[in-house]
Amino acid sequence: MQAATRGRWAVAGIFLANGFLTGSWAPQIPVFLTRLDISKFTLGLLILLFGAGAVTAMTWCGHLISRHGSRAVLRWFGLCGSFGLLAVALAPNVPLAAIAMFIFGGSIGGMDVAMNANAVAVERRLSRAIMSSSHGFWSLGGFAGGALGGFAIQNYGHFAHATVVTVLAFAVIALAVGYLIVEDKPEAAEHQKFSLPAHPVVYLVGLMALLTMVSEGAVLDWAALYLQQELGADLAIAGLAYAAFSGVMALMRFLGDGVRNRFGAVAQRRHRAEAVAHAVAGMLVAGLSPSPWLAIAAFAFCGFGIANMVPIIFSAGGNQEGMSSGTGMSVVTTMGYSGILVAPSAIGFVAEHSSFGPIFVALSGLLIVVLLMAGLAHRAEFAPEPDGFQVGST
């Protein structure tokens, strides 16, 4: 049990580092746009490549986890992913930036599937929920990346910022991977072939993740530009939009596991109608806001509403009947992160011909559908791991 507890904090460190890398990308976006002298449409295409890299890695990651275990997969994707932001910051032109974005997205995406699968394994071992607080660490990392990034870039430059982010992320990941738990590997794993699950429910759960994470991706990739270009904020203030969103999500996610352990995942989701209304209202007010500070507060309000949706959906994906946690997690995270990684590229195209305000207003309605599908979250109730579960360090 002590080793399992160490594994719980190790996977929390991985979530923190992943969120920090992702959050640190948000304040880099305005500099990226002006440094390469590109349009919002071109930026949207580059973000699409980021998403394509992530989805490509996610699609295969469940197969890799079933063969090698989530800890081994996390080691390689995590350590390689630490250098992704630095590669993007160093790219001198659009073609090299495109390659860097694809690799950065792939490493972040593969890391994401593996760390969520590992968190599901920890839940089974400990027989209690940790997914919401794990995502709380992700949001805490995003808060730190967004809050410090704009200030650091404005005062020290984008390259110095990316270098410090890389060093910190690499150090945390390198320390954490040795203490991650090791799942039992099926005896026939070496002979398994890559295939997608046939059961339709896992895809419906994935759809819930997608609809939820479209809004999160919009805030990540476009909120800073929205505040800077349309509401007149400087770079340091613009970076606070995603920081406020992530900070409030982190707080709510740290509280979410206790609620889920006591009342259950479905009960928690069904009693979050008021929170969903907060998310809808927050996104709506952000899109209609006349000032950057009101928009920042509205994005924070939105983060309060959607904070614990994704962790519960991911737990449901990792506990689907008749498939491994890695396979179910791969499907749900791939579909979900299509929202956070791919859909925002379409926003770039729309913003080139319109403005960001109406886009955020339009996004405010998507979360209601997720609420109507809440019953699908019943698989988030974890089952204890069999006695043969292995725990390892190093």
Digit-coded pLDDT (tens) for 147-203: 888 889 988 999 999 999 999 999 999 999 989 988 765 444 444 555 566 677 888
Q: What is the pLDDT of residue 18?
A: 94
- Name the residue among 192, 205, 173 with its Cα closest to residue 74: 173
List all residues 6 or more positions away from 12 whose beta carbon is below 8 Å from its beta carbon: 130, 133, 134, 137
pLDDT class for 270, splitting at 50, 70, 90? low
Looking at residue 117, what is its pLDDT?
Answer: 86
Return the DSSP state at 23.
H
What phi and psi, each to the nearest 5 degrees, are found at residue 390? -105, 145
For residues 394 and 270, the model is more confident at 270
Quote the longest CA-to-CA distance of the chain: 60
* Per-residue pLDDT at 327 exceeds 70: yes
* Separation of alpha carbons 333 and 55, rounded Å: 9
Mean pLDDT of 257-272: 57
Predicted local distance difference test score (pLDDT) of residue 294: 96
Element (H, E) at 4: helix 2-35
3-state SS class at 182: strand
Question: Span 333-344, mean pLDDT?
Answer: 73
Res 253 pLDDT > 90:
no
393 pLDDT tier (thresholds 50, 70, 90): very low
Is the pLDDT assigned to residue 276 strictly greater than 60?
yes
Q: Tell me: the pLDDT tens digits for 59-93?
A: 788 788 888 888 889 999 998 889 999 999 999 99
Which residue has 């939820």 as its token pair? 212
Under the banding of pLDDT at 50, 70 and 90, the label for residue 256 is: low
Give pLDDT tens digits for 285-315.
999 999 999 999 999 999 888 887 777 777 7
Q: Give residue 280's pLDDT.
A: 83
The reported pLDDT for the residue numbered 390 is 37
More reliable by pLDDT, 323 or 190? 323
Mean pLDDT to the nearest integer, 253-267 = 63
Q: Regarding predicted confidence, which is higher, 207 or 185? A: 207
pLDDT of residue 123: 83
pLDDT value, residue 388:
38
Q: What local confidence, expressed as pLDDT, does residue 266 receive?
A: 52
Q: What is the DSSP letter of 390?
A: B
The answer to whether 349 and 41 have CB atoms below 8 angstroms apart is: yes
Residue type, 98: A
pLDDT at 168: 96
Which region among 227-231, 258-262, 336-340, 353-357 has the lowest average model confidence (pLDDT)? 258-262
The rounded mean pLDDT for the chain is 81
Residue with tokens 């970076």: 239
The pTM of the full predicted model, rounded to 2 decimals, is 0.73
What's the pLDDT at 384? 46
Report the C-alpha gap between 135 and 284 in whole angstroms: 24
Q: Which has the closest alpha carbon to 46: 119, 109, 7, 95?
A: 95
Q: How far apart are CA 309 and CA 284, in angstroms?
A: 19
- Give rounded-to-5 percent helix, strand, coil for the chain: 80, 0, 20
Question: How open is the CA angle 316-300-262, to the nearest 5 degrees?
Answer: 40
Which pLDDT value is given to residue 378?
58
Stretch 247-252: mean pLDDT: 86
